[in-house]
Chains A and B, each alone.
Chain A
Amino acid sequence: MANVKTNTEAQRLTFWERIYLPEIARGMGLTFKQMLQPTFTRQYPEERWEPEGSYRGRPVLVLEDGKERCVACGLCSRVCPALAIEVRAAETTDDKERYPEKFEINMLRCIYCGFCEEVCPEEAIVMSKDYELVFGSQEEGILGKEKLLVPVAQLRDRLEFLRQWK
């Protein structure tokens, strides 16, 4: 045992530290000072926070010229680690040939990772600034196209952010 270095409390701490009381007093002093500091709390429903473009809120579909940009390629659905997205394609006479006949995101599954946005070849699904999600039932948590489509004008910040940083 000769070469074993002991490192007991008694060796590490000075006498005053060991009787604790001065240290306790210091700690209490710190918390007391803290009490006099201003608070950080934001009064949420009245004071709303407006996120930056980098914020990853609920994923939404981009609505441009009255149509979704999405071509129902299903890549978002494939990449989604939480399997939140279901896409069903159908044919259209438009140039893009196909569109999502059904596009559902199960917000109870979504983990806001943004992979869907990253993989989308059409920049058709982006993370919005919407962080207020409340559902009354599991079924309500599955958002269909009507809830997902958001006009492109409202998504400018995010699209610019993506252009710059993606």
Chain B
Amino acid sequence: MDPIQLLIICAQAGMLVNLMLIAAAYMVLAERKVAAWIQGRVGPNRVGPWGLFQSFADVFKLYLKEDVVPAAADYKFHALAPIISIAVAITIYAVIPWSGPLVTIDGHSYGLAMAPQMNVAILIILAMTSVGVYGVALAGWSSNNKYSLMGGLRSAAQMISYELSMGLAVIGVVLISGSLNLVEIINSQIANGWNIMYQPVAFLIFFVTSLAETNRAPFDLPEAEPELVGGYHTEYTGMKFGLLYLAEYASMLAAGAIMATLFLGGWDMIPFVDEAALLGLAPDSIPMVVLGHITFVSKALLMVFVFIWIRWSLPRFRYDQLMNLGWKVLLPLALANIAVTGICLLLFG
């Protein structure tokens, strides 16, 4: 690898991390605003116009806070847990095809995505979501607090249960697209129409499981405030708490982006329509790529909005309901979906 390439990749990575953190910060704001609107309130409106800088004020405050670690906590793991959580979220961002290639330098093309052409991108994503549970479980365990531990345990159980269905839901998509490469999947959708049309059940399953994987309502049992105080992050303060919090929103955006990639046609604007031809532009021209990027991000953010909207509409599941849904409904459904997809492919493919 020549130094220029390395430099560009580092710059790319730095940009992505920062954009992601800023995005997460604004998602926090969005969450509060949406919550406020649903409840007939105004929401944050004091810091900057329409409260736009509220999240920065919050982060600034979190930085200034004392970092309290319980005397009986395992300090090393206590500090490690937020790092794992945020690192996992960031790693997923690396394989997400944010846009097509924008520029070509020395024969390598670069877009906003870091490694869009990775062959096993889907496996990386599934692997990373599995690792994510370590962050939460460790946070709960190392705090040496029964409520935190309960939160951590719940989260571990919940993630393991829902990961299965999630993986199976993805298989449907892979069957249709015939690739684990995300760009390939997008291209096949551009050619044949979006996967959501062929795999609505898989989409539904994937959507529900990603709610559970990101610990979002109605599956936010790990932090169920009324029963567990704050769940796994009860004993976190300052920026460590901030990291756990940002990680949640970063995973949300990642989930939204993955759904956009797998089911919503990636950077395709309108299914079955060749937008480039319509606008009279070359498909790889810079305006098209930028337009595609905007489309992609809009789709991801739409999913994030739905996540938030759900949180302020639905009550939390009970633990047994959660497990029932995971094992008795989603898993059989996902299996059936694979079987049906396979048969259909055999018959009509």
Is chain B in direct contact with chain A in the complex (CB below 8 A)?
Answer: yes
A34 is contacted by which of B38, B42, B310, B314 (Cβ under 8 Å)? Answer: B38
Contact in complex: A31, B313 (CB < 8 Å): yes
Contact in complex: B42, A39 (CB < 8 Å): yes
Q: Give the residues in chain B near A37, CB-CB below 8 Å.
A: 40
Q: Give the residues in chain A near B314, CB-CB below 8 Å.
A: 24, 27-28
Contact in complex: A34, B40 (CB < 8 Å): yes
Complex formed: what's the CA distance from A32 to B37 in Å? 9
Q: Give the residues in chain A near B41, CB-CB below 8 Å.
A: 39-41
Q: Kindly state whether residue B309 has any CB partner on chain A within 8 Å.
A: yes
Q: Give the residues in chain B near A31, CB-CB below 8 Å.
A: 38, 309, 312-313
Can you name the residue of chain B whose Cβ is closest to the Cβ of A36? Answer: B37
The interface size bin for chain B is 10 to 19
The count of chain A contact residues (Cβ–Cβ below 8 Å) is 14
Contact in complex: B37, A34 (CB < 8 Å): yes
Contact in complex: B40, A28 (CB < 8 Å): no
Can you name the residue of chain A whose Cβ is closest to the Cβ of B37? Answer: A35
B40 is contacted by which of A24, A27, A32, A39 (Cβ under 8 Å)? Answer: A39
Q: Kindly state whether residue B8 has any CB partner on chain A within 8 Å.
A: no
Which residue, of B34, B37, B312, has the highest number of chain A Cβ atoms within 10 A? B37
Q: Kindly state whether residue A30 has any CB partner on chain B within 8 Å.
A: yes
Q: Kindly state whether residue B229 has any CB partner on chain A within 8 Å.
A: no
B 169-190 binary contact with A (CB < 8 Å = 1; else 0): 0000000000000000000000
Complex formed: what's the CA distance from A27 to B309 in Å? 10
Q: Give the residues in chain B near A32, CB-CB below 8 Å.
A: 309
Q: Kindly state whether residue B36 has any CB partner on chain A within 8 Å.
A: yes
Q: Give the residues in chain A near B312, CB-CB below 8 Å.
A: 31
Complex formed: what's the CA distance from A136 to B91 in Å? 48
Q: Give the residues in chain B near A38, CB-CB below 8 Å.
A: 40
- Which B residues fall within an 8 A CB radius of A? 34, 36-42, 309-310, 312-314
